[in-house]
Amino acid sequence: MDLENQYRGWIKQIKDALDEWSSISISGDYEYVVIAGMGGSGIVGDYLDRLSRVYGGLPVVVVKDNYVPAYIGEKSLVIAVSYSGNTHETISFVREAGKRVRNMVIVTSDGVLADIAREKNYVLVTIPSGFVPRASLPYMLYRILGVLDSSGYSIVSRGVAEESLRFLESEHNGIRSNARRVAEYIDKYKRLLILAGHSPYEPLLVRGKNEFNENSKIPVKIECAPEWMHNDIVGWEKPYSTDYAVLSVVDPDDSIGLKLVEYMESVYRELGIPVYRIELKGSSFLDKLMYGSLLLGYSSIELAYKRRINPLVTTSIAKYKEIASRIYG
82 binds ligand PA5 (CB under 6 A): yes
| CB-count burial class (<10 Å; 0-12, 13-18, 19+) for 119 | exposed
Contact between 66 and ligand PA5 by CB under 6 A: the answer reads no
**257 is a site residue for ligand PA5 (CB under 6 A):** no
- Residue with Cβ nearer ligand PA5 (151 or 314): 314
Least Å from the CB of residue 296 to ligand PA5: 13
Give Dmax (Cα) for the chain: 60
Which residues are within 8 A (CB) of 186 and not within 5 positions of it... i.e. 6 or more apart? 193, 212, 216, 218, 245, 247, 299, 303
Q: Among 13, 41, 164, 216, indicate the residue that binds ligand PA5 (CB under 6 A).
A: 41
Per CB under 6 A, the segment of 34-42, 115-123, 149-157, 223-231 that binds ligand PA5 is: 34-42
**Quick check: 208 binds ligand PA5 (CB under 6 A)?**
no
CB of 134 vs ligand PA5, minimal distance in Å:
4
CB of 84 to ligand PA5, least distance (A): 3
Closest CB 194 distance from ligand PA5, rounded Å? 21
Indicate the burial class of 258 (C-beta count within 10 angstroms; 0-12, 13-18, 19 or more): middle
Q: Which is nearer to ligand PA5, 82 or 164 (CB)?
A: 82
CB of 317 to ligand PA5, least distance (A): 5
Gap between the Cα atoms of 212 and 216, Å rounded = 5
Sign of the CA dihedral 229, 231, 236, 242? negative
The stretch near ligand PA5 (CB under 6 A) out of 22-30, 39-47, 200-208, 296-304 is 39-47
**Dihedral of the CA atoms 193, 294, 8, 138 (nearest 10)?**
120
134 binds ligand PA5 (CB under 6 A): yes
Q: Which stretch binds ligand PA5 (CB under 6 A): 37-45, 148-156, 221-229, 292-300?
A: 37-45
Which of 175, 189, 198 is CA-nearest to residue 301? 175
User: Please, what is the minimum distance in Å from the beta carbon of residue 43 to ligand PA5?
Assistant: 8
| 131 or 268: CB nearest ligand PA5 | 131
Q: Which is nearer to ligand PA5, 137 or 225 (CB)?
A: 137
Q: Does 45 bind ligand PA5 (CB under 6 A)?
A: no
Contact with ligand PA5 (CB under 6 A) among 83, 122, 153, 167: 83
Q: What is the CA radius of gyration of the chain?
A: 20
Asked whether 301 and 3 are in contact (CB, 8 A), the reply is yes
Q: Nearest distance from residue 7's CB to ligand PA5, in Å?
A: 12
What is the size of the binding site for ligand PA5 (CB under 6 A)? Answer: 15
**Nearest approach, Cβ of residue 230 and ligand PA5 (Å):** 29
Which residues contact ligand PA5 (rule: CB under 6 A)? 38-41, 82-84, 87, 90, 132-134, 214, 314, 317
